[in-house]
Amino acid sequence: MKKYLFIALLCFVLTVTCLLSAFGSVIHINANKSAFSTTPTEIVPIESPAYKIDSKDPLTLSVGDSKVIAISKDEEKTLRKWTSSDVNIATIDSGGRIDAKKEGNATVTALFSDNKKYECKVTVVKAEKEEADRFSTCITANSDVLKKNLASKNKKNPYSIYVNRKQNCVTVYTYDESGKYTVPVRAMVCSCGKNDGTITGTYGIYFKREWHSLFDNVYGQYVSGISGDYLFHSVPYYTKSPDDLEVEEFNKLGSNASLGCVRLSVSDTKWIYDNCAKNTEVKIYDDNNPGPLGKPETIKITDLKCGWDPTDDNKSNPYYNKTPIITGAKNCEIKKGESFSPMDKIKAVDTCSNDITDKIAVTGNVVTSRVGKYKVTYSVTDSLHRSTSVDITVTVKN
């Protein structure tokens, strides 16, 4: 008897598994940065960052933004369609995804088979996004404080540079209202000396040179002296040519690799060269905490035959106009009730062709149990703050 009960139970489990596979599944990709769901016949509510349509507050979006509207399980079953009063201002697809097109006001409406409807007022405002530095992996912050200090008529140096030797991270501070350097404005990844080869202590920048000879018959670009032979400089070059970089050394940024100097990418050492005047304070220390802004990611050169630093803003740089690439994202059709796997065959590489598929964010809501057209957006940003996005349409047919 026990044997037959076990067989019956096994058959039941297999049957349920097959039915669930046939009706699709709920999928959330990179939940911390994506809004994506596929909704099967058995309705499951859309998760954050969805907007509840019965909210009393109007929905405000910036031009270019997207938001998925959430409705209840029962409402999803009786939903007939979504509409927008002005598709030039805001569009809405079959899955309740709103796309803000241009400034203005529009009303999106959910119509149900029981004659019930929801209306959501949408205000689209101008997008005010800070332009990221496309030639650096740096992290920036507190631009308002820095802008105020730079515009000040007092002669106080706007910057103090802190080098965390243990974490290979440089954090630049500006001063607060009391005049103390406590406000972090920029963090940069670096390479300090092997075997504690970089000095510690407090110093001041004492000279600058666009190109400067280093040990072992190599050259540093955008050099700022810290103390004696200890310098801020780029990753070494074999010659004084921007296309003759020691590529293998560039790929060591973020770890101890120098003979004692503080190496940075070209863009970051150029920032110090251009912005930090002589006598700018430099503090070199050890700490397990990289700093208040954290340690930026590095980017690795995969083409070892290319002698350019990818952060160099020289227009002859082959990396100058490159951006991340997303592949495999194509319009598709599925039958009602079939499953949809948003990341199937989707891949992404960064500016230097490193795999960054795990950074892809997916935005959209595909209701596999309802006929309609659904917009899905794949977007990715690499360590150089360069972004790419691809839109596809998923059509669910009878």
Q: Which residues are catalytic?
A: 233, 261
Contact 363, 376 (CB under 8 A): yes
Token digits of residue 315: 């227009």
Q: How many Cβ atoms sit within 10 Å of the Cβ of residue 301?
A: 21
Alpha-carbon distance of 182 to 173, in angstroms, equals: 6
**Side-chain half-sphere of 306: how many Cα atoms within 13 Å?**
16
Q: Name the nearest CA neighbour of 368 among 330, 336, 397, 398.
A: 336
Q: How far is Cα of residue 395 from the mean position of the Cα atoms in its chain? A: 29
Q: What's the residue count for the chain?
A: 398
Q: How far is Cα of residue 237 from the mean position of the Cα atoms in its chain? A: 30
Q: Name the nearest CA neighbour of 141 among 109, 104, 184.
A: 184
Please give the full DSSP string across 111-166, using - where no structure is assigned: EETTS-EEEEEEEEE----PPP-TT---EE--HHHHHHHHH-SS---S-EEEEETT
Alpha-carbon distance of 250 to 265, in angstroms, equals: 8
Residue with tokens 């979504």: 82
Alpha-carbon distance of 377 to 397, in angstroms, equals: 20
Contact 232, 226 (CB under 8 A): yes
